[in-house]
Structure 1
Amino acid sequence: MAQVRIFTDSTSDLPEELLQRYQIEVVPLYVIFEDQSYLDRVDIHAEQLFDFVAHTGKLPKTAAPSPGDFERAFAPFIEADEDIVFIGLSSELSSTIQNARIAAESFPDGRIRVIDSRNLSTGIGVLVVKAAQAALEGRSPSEIQAIVTSFIDKIEVSFIIDTLEYLHKGGRCSSVQAFFGSLLKIRPIVQVIQGAMQLTDKIRGKREKALNQLLQNALAFKDDMDTDFMFITHAQAHDEAAYVKEQFELHTNVKNVFLSETGCVVSSHCGPHTLGIVFAKK
């Protein structure tokens, strides 16, 4: 019986430790600075993106892998008689899923299953790790697909954003909103709802207040959390991420609280000092 290889894209923001542990393959998105194109998490990382924005005042563009990129990534594993389950960035946000499906049509029916995560960052990562655990248990592609699909609507993703600058540059809030947000020190909380990013809270005042609100919002689900693992995902917020990790270890029964850093795609939308709490509900 063929083995099952789990694939994802670079927006899943999974730490290298987990990619290696579960032998997960990653297809990178593109980050485009003016006339230069880079592979996310391969040629460029979030810190370099933030430097570019600081120096130019412009956001880079991002682009999905092409169908050809996916074909080249998938082919060696199909030739090695491994089936593939790919879990990627929400189709509400990118053509990544569409291009993976086009590529899958180039291979024999049933060998590649493409799953729309309806999520981003480690919201995808939770599904990918669930799939990888099932693959290690010897589950079939159809069983893995069913497990992943059953969790899609149970993923909770919320981020605190330190500045409205990146949302403004990306066209997600107006100049007036950005100006008054800066003036009033408004710190947005963003959630993933129905596959898209939505502003759900606007906390006025010190960052500690917004961070505490984010933490309390998540801890309200503590009795309903899947206790296998969760993620604290951040962009240049190491100390706060360590603090939030400690709080979940103290106040919940989650066995593994993993820290991860955002790649360029999430970073280009949210900016530096973003911090997210990501978990699955039972």
Structure 2
Amino acid sequence: MIHIITDSCADLSPALKERYHIHTVPLSVFLGGQTYLDGEEIGLADLFAGVKHHNQLPKTSAVPQGRFEAAFQALDGDLLVLTISSQLSATYQSAVLASQSFPERTIRVVDTLNLSTGIGLLALRAAELRDAGKSLDEIVQDITQTAPKIRTAFIIDTLEYLYMGGRCSAMQNVMSSLLQIRPVIECRPDGTLGIQSKVRGTRKKALASLVESFRKNLEQMDLHRVFITHTGCDEDAQAVAAEIAALAPIQEICITHAGATVASHCGPNTLGIIYLEK
């Protein structure tokens, strides 16, 4: 039996994790002097309510080695561990160190070079390969080759969370607010984050820009599955899903909420489209 494990940054819904038999190990979120396990002790609504109550932005930390070791110990069989990009978190390194504590077992750790449902997309692909009878080595080879082809782009409503998390400068934060600039943040093939584009004007215009970018890439796109992941803007997510469904015969569009870790860095009303290129 091959078990698939992700960290909580994969942002998969409980229904998807149950359907594909995927296990999750949580990162930690710090808020109001307390530490919470992402997805187990704090979720999206709790996070933003806590930010408002404490007038303080959250911080996050990687999955510690011991937490991975406990998760590995609880599962029999071979393990495939898919983590958030090693460029964004020390979680990958923790998983590698934890795997070395079980030399008698077959545990493969893969750096997905991604975040949020970019990880989730790879996890579902791995589960489908497993269920099709592929070996662990075959799955690892496929996922390693596929990871750089994941395209993850998010419209950020405010840079305040990225600024407080050290992921943009004070000047970028101030200018974005003054000029009503909404950046589109992308996860690059090397696992780092960058600004794909900047949209000046209304949120509606920014979302239209995200959909237009999606449309332009249709010929290069694998239409098997597309994720729309957001931090509490359900109506926008449903509207974007309807728009991209009208553009191409996508087999499955999955709408999910981002978890507390991802939301801690991108803030409320963030929305992303995640897909795989051929």
1:111-122 matches, within 5 Å, as: 111-122=106-117
Q: Give the CA deviation at 1:58.
A: 2.5
Q: Give the CA deviation at 1:182.
A: 1.4
Amino acid at match of 1:230: V
Structure 1 residues 130-175: Cα deviation after superposition (integer angstroms, max 9, x where no partner):
1011111121110110111121111000000111221222222333
Match of 1:9 in 2: 7
SS state at 2:244 partner: helix
- Answering whether residue 191 of structure 2 is matched by residue 195 of structure 1, we say yes
SS state at 2:171 partner: helix
* Of 46, 58, 61, the match for 2:59: 61
Match of 1:107 in 2: 102
Structure 1 residues 58-99: Cα deviation after superposition (integer angstroms, max 9, x where no partner):
222211121111111011223xxx111010110001111111
Q: Give the CA deviation at 1:181.
A: 1.6
Contact preservation (8 Å) 1:163, 1:182 = yes
Match of 2:35 in 1: 37
Number of residue pairs matched by the alignment: 277
Distance in structure 2 (CA, Å) of the matches to 1:249 and 1:176: 38
Amino acid at match of 1:133: E
Match of 2:84 in 1: 89
Contact preservation (8 Å) 2:32, 2:54 = no
* Of 192, 213, 219, the match for 1:217: 213
Distance in structure 2 (CA, Å) of the matches to 1:230 and 1:210: 19
- Answering whether residue 249 of structure 2 is matched by residue 245 of structure 1, we say no
Match of 1:166 in 2: 161
Structure 1 residues 98-155: Cα deviation after superposition (integer angstroms, max 9, x where no partner):
1111111111356100000000000111111110111111211101101111211110
Structure 1 residues 197-227: Cα deviation after superposition (integer angstroms, max 9, x where no partner):
2122121111111111111111211122112
Match of 2:274 in 1: 278
Amino acid at match of 2:168: C
SS state at 1:120 partner: coil
Contact preservation (8 Å) 1:58, 1:169 = no
Match of 1:126 in 2: 121
Amino acid at match of 1:104: S
SS state at 1:251 partner: coil
Distance in structure 2 (CA, Å) of the matches to 1:96 and 1:177: 28
Contact preservation (8 Å) 1:5, 1:83 = yes
Match of 1:157 in 2: 152
Distance in structure 1 (CA, Å) of the matches to 2:168 and 2:220: 33
The gaps in structure 2 that reach 5 residues or longer are none
Contact preservation (8 Å) 2:32, 2:50 = no
* Of 250, 257, 260, the match for 1:261: 257
Q: Give the CA deviation at 1:249.
A: 1.5
Distance in structure 2 (CA, Å) of the matches to 1:103 and 1:175: 37
The share of aligned pairs that are identical, in percent, is: 42
Q: Give the CA deviation at 1:276.
A: 0.1
SS state at 1:228 partner: strand
Amino acid at match of 1:170: G
Match of 1:136 in 2: 131
Amino acid at match of 2:191: G
Distance in structure 2 (CA, Å) of the matches to 1:249 and 1:70: 38
Amino acid at match of 1:59: L
Q: Give the CA deviation at 1:34.
A: 4.4
Distance in structure 1 (CA, Å) of the matches to 2:156 and 2:259: 15
Structure 1 residues 248-268: Cα deviation after superposition (integer angstroms, max 9, x where no partner):
211112200000110111111
The gaps in structure 1 that reach 5 residues or longer are none
